[in-house]
Amino acid sequence: MEKVKIGIIICDRYKSCSGGKCFRAATNREGAFSVYKDIDLEFAGFTSCGGCPGGNIEFAPEEMKKNGVTHIHFATGLLVGYPPCPYMEHFKEFITEKYELKVIFGTHPIPEKYYKTHLRLKTWNKQFIKEAVQASLTNELTRLNYD
């Protein structure tokens, strides 16, 4: 079975997060982890961005790559925080170009309460964020299970 080593970068606002929803989603292959249905996953990195404007983005991917990471997931918190991270697009370009790592937006399914709030606030109306949230949107029942 193919194996992929994953690193997760979370928003610094959530730096004390234990990663429970992310790891549950990976085990269940839900949210952005649904693309790994028949692939063995190993986690080899978990850190925050370092705070705006993402000082840790310059260094953390290098360490993750040294530990075999090939795919970096930006945690769902970067998508659903208020406001969503304004630097995600730049982070992806930097990590892809400098470290040649695949960057995926999202980890666990977006909780329903965040989904409803962002719809009301229209924070996901720009093309980039519309595309970035797709892998973590799932369906209402799954979103409710992550509330």
Instruction: Look up residue 4 and give its two tokens.
Output: 């992929």
Give the C-alpha separation, 55 to 121, whole Å.
28
73: nearest Cα among 115, 111, 116, 30: 30
Confidence bin at 46 (pLDDT 50/70/90): very high
- Average pLDDT over the chain, rounded to an integer: 96
Q: pLDDT tens digits for 121-131?
A: 999 999 999 99
Q: Which residue ranges form the domains of the chain, and what is each CATH number? A: 3-145 (3.40.50)
Kindly report whether the global pTM for this prediction surpasses the value 0.85: yes
Confidence bin at 142 (pLDDT 50/70/90): very high
Which are the contacts of 130, defined by CB distance < 8 A and separation ≥ 6? 124
